[in-house]
Structure 1
Amino acid sequence: MTRDPLVAYFSMEIGLEAGMPTYAGGLGVLAGDTIRSAADLDIPMVAVSLLHRRGYFFQHLDAAGNQTEEPVSWAVEDYAEALEARACVEVEGRTVHLRAWRHLVRGISGSAVPVYFLDADLPQNTAEDRRLTDVLYGGDAYYRLCQEVILGIGGIRMLASLGYRDLYRYHLNEGHAALLVLGLLEQRMAEGSQPQMSCKAALEAVREHCVFTTHTPVPAGHDQFPADLARRVLGERFWALLAACWDNASLNMTELALRCARYINGVAMKHGEVSRGLFPGYPIHSITNGVHAATWAAPPFQRLYDRHLPDWRRDFLSLRYAVGIPTDELWQAHQEAKRALLDTVNRVTNAGMNCDALTVGFARRATAYKRFLLLFHDLDRLVGIVKQTGPLQIIFAGKAHPRDHEGKAIIWRVHEVKERLRDIVAITYLPNYDMQTARLLCAGSDVWLNTPVPPLEASGTSGMKAAVNGLPSLSVLDGWWIEGHVEGVTGWAIGERIDICEQPEPGLDACHAEALYDALEHRVLPCFYQEQERYRDMMRHVIALNGSFFNTHRMVAQYLHMAYQAVGRYLDQNNRAGESTSHES
């Protein structure tokens, strides 16, 4: 039974289905997985985002690897229901009217979490304002700030219009949603029990209800807007409310969220540590990310778990018993997933890859710190390893932001290396990386590669998706992998852990490249080709140790009892009351 919502979850992007381009990458996919687990666990939640009619973008790659973009076209009505409720926000003194589209996420036991997508494409708005919700992370600083006004202030007003008021917790998934604080302040000062409630008292009341999750250890990743732009867009009334939060020389969305949240967390233990270094003076905790295991387990693995672990869809912790699954059945499931991946790869890219070769998956946003090219640091060394040890296939995927020219150059360079090594190492690049492609890659690869510059990987959930399908990781010790790594059991480390919170040391690329080649030559390739039973046993341990822990059922339970506390107590009391009634009857 679905209860009245007690938690409002705000996120600029939410990935629910591959056909809904309302996400760009890991942040949005995590939001979708969080909502799915909330529905499974019967957490009374409602979610708010924007309706991105033109999506993030559709990626085209030519034969040389040059990326071009075009808007996404999709049928909104096929995925969401238009509601009659209306709200509005003020942008530069203009009224921008909003409507909401509802998409219900149903859980395993029938509970549902409604997701409301805010849409400015209404005839009452000017042509320019109708486009304000269209493009995810598009436009300039003005466009971005207008979107954050709609998400934060417009989201609070839309919830009120829909009848949701005085929720226990408002969860800000990244700083994009921080302006909801102003919407809550407005409500408190207008409708509080004290008609003349001071701004300071209202702020303390609002802070008690807000939870903030920060996702990036990269300083440039935190939205900031010049004071003149923020004052112009927000107007004098909201600019004055901001003054109650701090001396607003500029509008720093992360700073606003930090100051106005009762509970703050990073998304891995290491990321919490890095965030405390970035933002000293704030009590930043850690709740390590997870993935929704039932969503990311490939069909052959779902069938495998259904046979051997019948409760796994309700209780992801049941995956710990994967250590008892016969390795021949596990291998058969993996081979089915691998064939599904390579059939798609060969059809889309004409790569001619085969199921017998060790296949490495590498997929993430194409940007410099992800180090797509680390594997190609010394091509002669790589070629020598392959000739001596066994065949190697590498599948890349990922979009570069339209304005990230360095990221686009990285994609071009991968294509250049692909041509140079054509007859020695099979390399391909899957275009337009989305949730469907991720499902194939994270299940059908043999090893999952991750090479970020530490400590810039906040968490990294792609390796968790791979773990649900038994894929060992070959990764730099950063983000979640510091917690999930057991050498030779759940995968292999690239280099040693580096306990730094600032800039990486000079020469780190060369050091990590050498460590990567050493791991491939002496541990990864020999294990796959010469110790097949050991490799299969590793797969079992990856599922049992990492798949059972790094999932959103565990993560949401931690939020419930650490961040949403009052909600957890409410649910516990109601569950006990329900059990008592059941016993009495």
Structure 2
Amino acid sequence: MIQRLHRSDLGYSLRSLMENDPAFRPLAYFSMEVGLKESIPTYSGGLGVLAGDILKSAADLGVPMAGVTLLYRKGYFVQEFNADDWQKEKPVQWNPSHELTLLPNRVLINLQGREIQVGVWVYEIIGATGYPLPVYFLDTDFEPNHPDDRKLCWYLYGGDNCYRLCQEFILGVGGLRMLRDLGYMNIETFHLNEGHAGFLTLELMREQGYYDPDKIREQVVFTTHTPVPAGHDYFEFGLIDRVFPAEALSTLRRMMPDVPGVSMTELGLKYSRYVNGVAKKHAEVSNAMFRMETVDWVTNGIHPTTWVSSGMRKLYNRHIPGWEQDPGRLVQALTIPKQDLWAAHQASKLRLFARVLETTGKQLDPEVLTLGFARRAATYKRADLLFSDLKRFMEVAGGNKVQFIFAGKSHPSDNGGKALLQKIRKVARDLEESIPIVFIDNYNMEIASLLTQGVDLWLNTPIRPREASGTSGMKCTMNGIMNFSVLDGWWIEGWIEDVTGWSIGPEPNGETPFEHYDESLDAIDLYNKLERKIIPTYYENHDKWVDMMRHTIALNASFFNTHRVVREYASKAYSIDFRGM
């Protein structure tokens, strides 16, 4: 349990007080999901893992922050497939008490005419220098709550729209009340990671006791993550009327007048002093979509020591001392001996292949060029672009030239995503005599680590401009693995052709109207690049391949990390100068 220290305690330094006393935590970071490790299954994908990585870097840098999220007792889900290769979901079996500490605090909220007790668990991230950063997990599965209310913190992105509305009220309103109950009375900035926690603004309005929108804006910053409409929650007032208590409903109608419902993104945009997208291109798309000119950008990153392989970590420690505290030093990677870099990579590749053999029974060849594709299975991510023309695909990749590893989960309600997974698994079976293609079930942070450390090349093929940022490819760069990707999201900023990787399709020069773009052209370019550039470089110009690995580390890993992200938020959004960060 976190020990709360008081100024009267003797023997404690000011630093100890600042590390442990909520009075010295002026920042609160709210996220619907937080991915810290695979044994705490409170995340579904990129949004949650990014939140976890930001909190880890904040701890490493000593940023006085606390995280707030929900506890999902049934996790996201365990992925299984039936005989028709159709994804099925099972609840995750985990015991929060094995990973988290239950605190005695309880706060009250009212939903659907019932009073609900909200409790809280805590996990402490211990930063690289020993700085503790608490992450609070809200929970309603306690007596004497109504049986239906006890289930509100069971499933991540589960249930109907009413279930989702209740969860977001718990996160925003319950989360702020819990912070106050824990002693966080001096928070200067509330950072909303996506719109899910937007109802926090209601509680801020209630706390101040009078209606002053400008006062709310002074305290809130907001990060939007997706240009895909399904990623922006919307609740009609007919539903809100039935769920919210009268005071909150009245305040919300005053805050969002003359609309039939509430877009959580619009709520965040309207009541935040600073708004950002998660890549430069995403900010441009967001400004156009929201008809604004004020959406800034802080391009995403990944937590370096979470995603680097053990072999690469040792290599960096030997050749680039101090990189863990300052990942920007990885620009020195061009001095790493090529044979050492390749040896570290091959060790990761063998470790991945051992897991593939263990879980699928398939033996992959470590001498063969291996491409990886793993992310949430959504139709706009086009996991099947590779299979657009099977005849051409076999011409390019057949003959033991290339092998592929896929992984990913589809949202339980996304039949389009499930159909994508079904197609990949079917193609893998149909072509197993010609091209090795494996699918690893039940994608999680552990599998993501193995993949982003062990493949030779990372494939990403979203429909433009729907990839807000993407972080899986950034994890690869930390391990010297190049990207082969459509120019969208972060890759526009990280791509240098034949230096850090390869592009798929045209450059986003503002002249290509992608809403009318022929997507088959991307498949043609993918096959051509694979055949004429990538395969020849891997097999015939090994020296260049490893040199590109060094450039990937020096130019991409040194920048696309959450240490840089946290520093940018500190200067742009938090307006706090953290000396020594």
Contact residue 351 and residue 427 of structure 1 kept, 8 A: no
Does structure 1 residue 93 correspond to structure 2 residue 113? yes
Deviations 1:479-522 (A, max 9, x none): 00000000000000001123569983445321000000011001
Q: Which residue of 1 aligns with 2:518?
A: 508
Give the corresponding residue for 1:302.
Answer: 313
1:58 to 67, 75, 78: 78
Of 82, 88, 94, the residue aligned with 1:74 is 94
Aligned length, in residue pairs: 560
> Are residue 141 (structure 1) and residue 180 (structure 2) matched?
no
Give the secondary-structure state (helix, strand or coil) at the position aligned to 1:254.
Answer: helix
Q: Distance in 1 between matches of 2:511 and 2:141?
A: 43
Q: 2:412 matched to 1:407? A: no
Q: Does 1:452 align with 2:462?
A: yes
1:92 shift after superposition: 1.6
Question: 2:359 matched to 1:339?
Answer: no
User: For the structure 1 residues 182 and 392, does the alpha-carbon distance in structure 2 shift closer, same or farther, using more than 3 Å as the test?
Assistant: same
- 333, 336, 343: which one aligns with 1:325: 336
CA distance in 1, matches of 2:245, 2:39: 37
Q: State the alpha-carbon separation in 2 of the partners of residues 406 and 501 from structure 1.
A: 30
AA of the residue aligned to 1:399:
K
CA drift of 1:235 comes to: 2.4
Q: 1:100 offset after TM fit, Å?
A: 0.6
Tell me, in whole angstroms, the C-alpha distance in 2 between the residues paired with 1:96 and 1:501.
Answer: 54
1:337 Cα deviation after fit: 0.3
Is it true that 1:121 corresponds to 2:132 in the alignment? no
Q: Which amino acid aligns with 1:187?
A: E
Contact 2:398-2:435 at 8 Å conserved across structures:
no
Pairing 1:168-187 to 2, within 5 Å after superposition = 168-187=188-207
Q: What SS does the corresponding residue of 1:508 show, helix, strand or coil? A: coil
Say whether 1:466 aligns with 2:476. Answer: yes
C-alpha separation between the residues in 1 aligned to 2:331 and 2:309?
Answer: 18
Which residue matches 2:387? 376
Which residue in the other structure is 1:42 paired with? 62
Which of 357, 361, 382 is matched with 1:350 structurally? 361
Work out whether residues 78 and 91 of structure 2, in 8 Å CA contact, stay in contact via their aligned partners in 1: yes
Match of 2:8 in 1: none
Answer whether contact 1:64 1:415 (CA < 8 A) is retained: no
Task: Give, as a single letter, the amino acid of the residue that structure 1 aligns with 2:206.
Answer: E
Q: 1:282 to 1:498 in 2, by over 3 A?
A: closer
* Two-structure CA RMSD over aligned residues (Å): 1.5
TM-score, normalising length: structure 1:
0.94
1:569-580 correspondence runs (5 A): 571-572=578-579
Correspondence for 1:531 among 527, 534, 541: 541
Letter in 2 for 1:251: V
- On the 8 A contact 1:489/1:541 being kept in 2, the answer is yes
Q: Is the 8 A contact 1:455 1:500 kept in 2?
A: no
Give the structure 2 partner of residue 477 of structure 1.
487
- The answer to whether 1:218 aligns with 2:256 is no
Shift of 1:283: 1.1
Tell me the CA shift for residue 125 of structure 1. Answer: 0.2
SS of the equivalent of 1:400 reads coil
> Given the two structures, how large is their TM-score scaled by the length of structure 2?
0.94
| Letter aligned with residue 103 of structure 2 | L
Secondary structure (helix, strand or coil) at the match of 2:104 reads strand
Shift of 1:542: 0.2
The answer to whether the 8 A contact 1:169-1:210 is kept is: yes
| Aligned residue runs from structure 1 range 263-278, under 5 A | 263-278=274-289
- Consecutive unaligned residues in structure 2, runs of 5 or more: 1-14
Q: Distance in 1 between matches of 2:31 and 2:241?
A: 23
TM-superposed CA distance for 1:132, in Å, is 0.3
The question of 1:9 aligning with 2:29 is answered: yes
Q: Distance in 1 between matches of 2:417 and 2:339?
A: 41
Look up the equivalent residue of 2:134 and give its one-letter code: P
Q: Does residue 24 of structure 1 match 2:44?
A: yes
The equivalent of 2:396 in structure 1 is 385
| Structure 1 residue identity aligned to 2:169 | V
Alpha-carbon deviation of 1:77?
0.8
Partners of 1:489 and 1:339 in 2: CA distance: 25
- 1:387 and 1:175 map into 2 onto residues whose CA distance is 46
Letter paired with 1:544: A
**Stretch deviating more after TM superposition (27-36 or 165-174):** 165-174
Structure 1 CA distance for aligned equivalents of residues 66 and 561 of structure 2? 20
Which residue is 1:432 aligned to? 442
| Equivalent residue number for residue 236 of structure 1 | 246
* Separation of aligned partners in 1, 2:518 and 2:562: 33
CA distance in 2, matches of 1:100, 1:171: 19
**Whole-angstrom distance in 2 between the partners of 1:40 and 1:147:** 30
SS, match of residue 43 in structure 2: coil
Name the residue aligned to 1:583.
Answer: none
Deviation at 1:112, TM superposition (A): 1.2
> Are the structure 2 counterparts of residues 386 and 249 from structure 1 closer, same or farther at C-alpha, using a change threshold of 3 Å?
closer
Aligned amino acid, residue 501 of structure 2? G
Give 1:165 deviation, angstroms.
Answer: 1.6
Alignment CA distance shift 1:223-1:310 (3 Å): same
Q: Is the 8 A contact 1:277 1:501 kept in 2?
A: no
- 1:323 aligned partner, one-letter code: L
Given candidates 175, 198, 221, the residue that maps to 1:155 is: 175
Between the aligned residues of both structures, percent identity stands at 46
Q: CA-to-partner distance for each residue in 1:249-307, whole Å, 9 max, x for gaps?
A: 20111111110000000000000000001111351000000000111001111111111
Counterpart among 46, 53, 74 of residue 33 in structure 1: 53
Structure 1 residue ranges (4+ consecutive) displaced by more than 4 angstroms after TM superposition: 499-503
Is there any run of 5+ residues in structure 1 with no aligned partner, and where? 190-196, 577-585
